Amino acid sequence: MSPPPIKIHFKEGSLRDNEVECDTPLHIVADEDDAHVVVWPSPTVDISTYDGEKSRRERPGQLQGFWSLESAEYYPLIKRARQQLVMKDPKAFDFEVTYKTSSDFPIPYAYGFIDFRKASLAFEARRQDKIAAAFISNCGPLNNRTQILQNLIDLLPGQIDSFGYCLNNANSDQVIQQFDLNPLIDGQPQHKLSRWEEKMSIIQRYKFTIAFENSNDEDYVTEKYYQALEAGSIPIHLGQTPEQFEKFKPSTNSTLNVADFKTVEALADRIKQIANDRVLYESMLAWKKEQFPERFEEILGYGKLHEACRIAKFLRREWRNPHALNQERYDSFYQRLNITTE
């Protein structure tokens, strides 16, 4: 006989049971009072009103946690909620669901549908008149990515196509038409490309993709990096220190990290060197046919299992993030909810 389902309530959103594939029984419930677990999506939901002490006193048989994919550098309340957990503040949430690999339930931007084994275009099939593509539309970052992109555009004149709102110098529709990336039937496109499809069809034609984050926060590595990996377009990353970034790499020789270079000029020289050397370039894509490092594989695994499923598995003692902070909290979770493994 299957155990009764773990009941999870999201304070905002339209998630339903049939959207969560999980071999551990769970129900996404609309009634917060009926849930074993309540998830607060931030910044959509105001988490400033949460008081852990009060919650545990009034609802001792319920766990409450905050959820966010947004950079904590942009949202002080998310940063504060994280810090309260780290410091074991009595007012803290019970758990965290964020991009942090040390959170209780990591949710990286490495979505489960991304095919990292997808074959890359041949060196000759990529643009020879251009080197890199950029899609940046937040022109008010909390780091220096706009300036670095401008410097690269100046150092590699005519070689970087910037399709976003920031430093725009290229048109995606023109490139799609130029390379017949969405073939026409009777003068009309086969189908309307989604923004994701449009970007993927474009960057696979470029040897490099600018994958600069809008802020520097540990583990904040978004889909722009993973899109480049799938497309076989070498990512040029900004946002992590070399040490922080190591676990996100499919091999030691697969990406360029701005933090590894003393100057933007040195970075530009390295980009040109790789772009003009077929053997060197292809060596940076060899990872697609090699075994992934264990830590990278682990991060990809997070994206293949919905966080609601991992919460259910956690409460059934079937799964735990070995990198989570302050795991001594967990024994009290099981006691409070009185959920057996049977």
Q: Is the pLDDT of residue 243 over 90?
A: yes
Which pLDDT value is given to residue 87?
96
Distances (CA, A) of 269 to 13, 212, 280: 47, 18, 14
Beta pairing, strands 208-212 & 132-134: parallel
pTM, whole model, 2 decimals?
A: 0.95
Q: Is the pLDDT of residue 161 over 60?
A: yes
Which pLDDT value is given to residue 340?
60
What's the whole-number mean pLDDT along residues 134-153?
98
Cβ neighbours for 68, distance < 8 A, ≥ 6 positions apart: 41, 42, 43, 75, 78, 97, 98, 99
SS3 186: coil
Share of the chain above pLDDT 70, in %: 97
Identify the weakest region by mean pLDDT among 161-165, 179-183, 206-210, 295-299: 179-183
> Across all residues in the chain, what is the average pLDDT?
95
Q: Which residue has the higher pLDDT, 189 or 324?
A: 324
Tell me the pLDDT tens digit for each residue of 42-98: 999 999 999 999 999 999 999 999 999 999 999 999 999 999 999 999 999 999 999
Question: Please, are residues 128 and 322 in contact by the beta-carbon 8 Å criterion?
Answer: no
Start-to-end Cα distance in the chain: 9
Q: Which residue has the higher pLDDT, 182 or 324?
A: 324
Which pLDDT value is given to residue 138?
96
88: left (phi over 0), alpha (psi -120 to 50) or beta: left
Largest CA distance in the chain: 67
Q: Is the pLDDT of residue 185 over 70?
A: no
Cβ neighbours for 202, distance < 8 A, ≥ 6 positions apart: 133, 163, 172, 175, 176, 181
Q: Is the pLDDT of residue 342 over 70?
A: no
Q: Residue 153: count other Cβ atoms within 10 Å of its Cβ.
A: 20
User: What tokens were used for 252?
Assistant: 């030691």
Distances (CA, A) of 266 to 95, 121, 155, 178: 42, 27, 10, 32
Calculate the CA dihedral of residues 260, 266, 269, 275 and round it to 10 degrees. Answer: 10
What's the whole-number mean pLDDT along residues 272-286?
98
Strand partners, 68: 98
What's the whole-number mean pLDDT along residues 252-280?
99
Query: Which CATH number is correct for 123-291, 1.10.390.10, 3.40.50.300, 3.40.50.2000, 3.40.50.11660?
Result: 3.40.50.11660
Q: Which helix (H) or strand (E) holds 210?
A: strand 208-212
Domain ranges of the chain: 6-109+301-337, 123-291
Tell me the pLDDT tens digit for each residue of 24-34: 999 999 999 99
Which pLDDT value is given to residue 96?
98
Strand partners, 238: 212
What's the whole-number mean pLDDT along residues 16-40?
92
What's the whole-number mean pLDDT along residues 177-188?
75
